[in-house]
């Protein structure tokens, strides 16, 4: 676990996990309650929409996958990468995020099924959600008066979702 010096307590340096260092840095640009509320709505929608957009990219048919061909796709690689990154920061947060992504995947499958029965294309629905959620994010940061964290470092695009999850875990007194 990567650690960064935090503060001294009784003359002994207390080490802070890297994930907490990222959360502290991310929190610097997310102090306004309205911006925080907007993030609680828009960050999950952005994650969902990106997953759905990537899910929509045609994936080659792989014979040995059989009936699971539609479930293994480009989004599977995104999920694997994200969960690996989260696992290196915090196994607990990675497990919970995996459950969240499974839930999002279920909804994406349902949207794709709806499309096959006459509904809008998955990519169109996800693109609309993506654009609306990013508009919300930029409105939130305009209210905050600070630029989004990812403009300084792209890794904060991945930190945002687990930053929200860590609040839930703290509320439930679960160590992450």
Closest alpha carbon to 96 in 17, 9, 165, 1: 165
Whole-number Å distance between alpha carbons of 78 and 157 = 13
CA atoms within 13 A on the CB side of 44: 15
Contact 29, 141 (CB under 8 A): yes
The string of pLDDT tens digits covering residues 28-44 is 999 999 999 999 999 99
Task: Specify the pLDDT at position 131.
Answer: 98
Q: pLDDT by residue (tens digit) across 121-170?
A: 999 999 999 999 999 999 999 999 998 888 888 899 999 999 999 999 99
Over residues 81-135, the pLDDT tens digits come to 999 999 999 999 999 999 999 999 999 999 999 999 999 999 999 999 999 999 9
Question: What H or E segment, with its residue span, contains residue 96?
Answer: helix 91-116
What's the predicted TM-score (pTM) here?
A: 0.86
pLDDT of residue 10: 59
Average pLDDT over residues 1-19: 67
| C-alpha distances in Å from residue 14, one per residue of 2, 6, 71, 155 | 13, 6, 45, 25
Query: Which DSSP category does 148 fall into?
Result: -
β-pairing, 12-17 vs 3-9, is antiparallel
Cα separation, 32 vs 100, whole angstroms:
26
């Amino acid at each position: 676990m990567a650690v960064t010096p935090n503060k001294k307590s009784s003359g002994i340096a207390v080490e802070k996990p890297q994930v907490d260092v990222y959360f502290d840095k991310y929190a610097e640009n997310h102090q306004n309650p309205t911006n925080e509320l907007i993030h609680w709505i828009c960050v999950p929608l952005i994650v969902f929409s990106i997953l759905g957009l990537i899910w929509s990219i045609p994936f080659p048919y792989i014979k040995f996958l059989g009936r699971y061909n539609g479930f293994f796709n480009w989004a599977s690689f995104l999920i694997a990468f994200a969960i690996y990154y989260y696992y290196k920061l915090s196994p607990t947060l990675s497990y919970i995020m995996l459950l969240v992504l499974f839930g999002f995947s279920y909804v994406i499958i349902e949207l794709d099924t709806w499309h096959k029965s006459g509904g809008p294309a998955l990519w169109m629905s996800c693109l609309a959600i993506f654009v609306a959620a990013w508009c919300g994010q930029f409105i939130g940061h305009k209210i905050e008066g600070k630029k989004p964290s990812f403009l300084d470092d792209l890794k904060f695009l991945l930190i945002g979702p687990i930053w929200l999850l860590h609040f839930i875990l703290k509320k439930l007194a679960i160590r992450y």
